[in-house]
Amino acid sequence: MKVTLYTDGAARGNPDGPGGYGAVLQFIDKNGTLHEKELSAGYVRTTNNRMELMAAIVGLEALNRSCEVDLYSDSKYLVDAFNQKWIDGWVKHNWVRPKTGPVKNSDLWKRLLVAMNPHKVTFHWVKGHDGHPGNERCDRLATSAADGGDLLVDTGLSN
């Protein structure tokens, strides 16, 4: 099954403010019918990068079978980690970068790798706030979640 996943993260007062993520899953069934699912949540205190990762994680974790996924994000942090093969070096060096120390957000990178495992994921970068419909939709979901009530605690955020 071929799936399109749009993702975005937001943080107010990054890195010490509330944040949220938004993800939109889309697939077209054998009859040509488009199916969509929106996912979002907000956090009391987090960072933009953590929310970018959470959007991808939650979107992939929502899939209940192995899929071919085209993931669209405006986060160079997320997209370049895979397209530039940064992640391979991080894993090889046990999540430590030789010159700068521990990889930030390794808890979420590890969770993302597990979420990706059953799928074939291709990462695509889109320019943020540039009118891309999927990205704009996810941005609205992420910012609404960050500004909403019932915010979660980002337990992996280091002080």
Catalytic residue annotation: 8-9, 52, 74, 129, 139
> Nearest to residue 3, comparing CAs of 64, 80, 84?
64
Tokens, residue 20: 């949220």
**Cβ-contact 90, 47 below 8 angstroms:** no
Q: Residue 38: in which H helix or E strand, if any?
A: strand 34-43
